[in-house]
């Protein structure tokens, strides 16, 4: 049985390689240039930026490199680009406020949102098992690839082009409401209102959990006193509670 299982796995690997091919020819560079809004000169750089470390085990090429080094470089460029963008946009904001806003724009969740929005996952090179990862695992892979792409653009075309890419993805996300710069702690706002009106702290009740363990979705209902004011959903209880609190604030005409 052990021999059969090994043969089955190797057969699956061979089929996958035949479907995917190897190296940079897996990537549709024309479409990649469209989503990046950038003309690529060195394709190898972008092949590297899109290569998850799991892919190296599949291709078996000792010269292949994962995107981790480009991710390291891209992280530094991202922080500089966002810092300059915020410095220009918020001309009266103090240093502390700029730091808070930057943190919201460059955290892992935000980076995965940018990557999802430009459909970066369609171009990633990774093993079959890695490609089946869902939830936070895939978000991390996408966030890393987004930073690696920034590093590749920087090396391929310079800081100006990398900065343009960062700003266009962030501005699009802001304009479409995919991410926000302000601190929206809806639970705190609802708590403050409930206590000010004499009702005491809101109660949050988890009314449903669904999905596999690695990709759960929670549904939470919020009560003020004995009355229900909102229901929210999220990938964890914290996000679901925030969504429920937001709905309650909307019902109370406080948003």
CATH value at residue 236: 3.30.160.20
Whether 10 maps to a domain, the answer reads no
Whether 20 maps to a domain, the answer reads yes
Active site residues: 75, 147
Same domain as 114, residue 133 = yes
Same domain as 51, residue 128 = yes
Whether 5 maps to a domain, the answer reads no
- Taking the C-alpha atoms of residue 94 and residue 238, their distance in angstroms, rounded to an integer, is 30
Whether 138 maps to a domain, the answer reads yes
Same domain as 197, residue 128 = no
Any idea what DSSP says for residue 182? Answer: S
- Taking the C-alpha atoms of residue 68 and residue 203, their distance in angstroms, rounded to an integer, is 44
Same domain as 97, residue 222 = no
CATH value at residue 95: 1.10.1520.10
Which of 175, 202, 219 marks a domain boundary? Answer: 175
- Taking the C-alpha atoms of residue 171 and residue 78, their distance in angstroms, rounded to an integer, is 14
Whether 181 maps to a domain, the answer reads no
Question: What pLDDT does residue 123 have?
Answer: 94
Q: Which residue has the higher pLDDT, 27 or 18?
A: 27
% of the chain beyond a pLDDT of 90: 52
Domain count, the chain: 2
Whether 2 maps to a domain, the answer reads no
Same domain as 133, residue 38 = yes
- Taking the C-alpha atoms of residue 97 and residue 145, their distance in angstroms, rounded to an integer, is 28
Same domain as 193, residue 168 = no
Model pTM above 0.85: no
Which of 121, 149, 175 marks a domain boundary? Answer: 175
Whether 85 maps to a domain, the answer reads yes
208: left (phi over 0), alpha (psi -120 to 50) or beta: beta
pLDDT digits (tens, 9 = 90+) for 20-78: 444 444 789 999 999 999 999 999 999 999 999 888 877 766 677 899 999 999 999 99
Q: Which residue has the higher pLDDT, 241 or 185?
A: 241
Over 70: is that where the pLDDT of 79 sits? Answer: yes
Whether 48 maps to a domain, the answer reads yes
Nearest to 167 by CA among 88, 70, 51, 69: 88
Same domain as 149, residue 23 = yes
% of the chain beyond a pLDDT of 70: 85
Which of 122, 153, 175 marks a domain boundary? Answer: 175
Question: What pLDDT does residue 16 have?
Answer: 43
pLDDT digits (tens, 9 = 90+) for 155-169: 999 999 999 999 999
> Could you tell me the residue range of the domain that residue 26 belongs to?
16-175
Token pair 């549709």 is found at 28
**Among 20-29, 118-127, 199-208, 228-237, whose mean pLDDT is lowest?**
20-29
Highest-scoring range by mean pLDDT, 45-49, 231-235, 248-252: 45-49
pLDDT bracket for residue 186 (50, 70, 90): confident
Same domain as 118, residue 163 = yes
Highest-scoring range by mean pLDDT, 10-24, 174-188, 215-229: 215-229
pLDDT digits (tens, 9 = 90+) for 80-139: 999 999 999 999 989 988 988 898 899 888 999 999 999 999 999 988 777 776 667 788
């Amino acid at each position: 049985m052990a021999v059969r299982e090994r043969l089955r796995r190797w057969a699956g690997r061979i089929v996958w390689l035949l479907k995917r091919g190897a190296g940079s020819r897996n990537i549709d560079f024309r479409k990649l240039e469209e989503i990046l809004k950038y003309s690529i000169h060195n394709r190898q750089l972008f092949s590297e930026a899109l290569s998850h470390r799991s892919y190296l085990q599949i291709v078996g090429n000792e010269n292949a490199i994962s995107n981790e080094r480009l991710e390291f470089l891209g992280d530094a460029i991202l922080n500089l680009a966002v810092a300059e963008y915020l410095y220009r946009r918020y001309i009266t904001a103090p240093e502390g406020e700029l730091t808070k806003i930057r943190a919201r724009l460059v955290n892992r969740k935000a980076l995965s949102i940018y990557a999802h929005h430009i459909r970066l996952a369609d171009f990633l090179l990774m093993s079959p098992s890695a490609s089946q990862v869902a939830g936070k695992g895939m978000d991390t892979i996408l966030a890393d690839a987004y930073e690696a792409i920034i590093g590749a653009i920087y090396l391929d075309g310079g800081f100006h082009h990398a900065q343009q890419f960062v700003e266009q993805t962030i501005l699009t996300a802001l304009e479409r409401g995919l991410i926000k710069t302000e601190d929206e702690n809806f639970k705190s706002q609802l708590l403050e209102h409930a206590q000010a009106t004499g009702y005491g702290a809101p109660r949050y009740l988890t009314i449903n959990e669904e999905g596999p363990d690695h990709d759960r979705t929670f549904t939470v209902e919020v009560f003020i006193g004995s009355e229900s004011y909102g229901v929210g959903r999220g990938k964890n209880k914290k996000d679901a509670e925030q969504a429920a609190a937001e709905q309650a604030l909307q019902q109370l005409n406080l948003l």
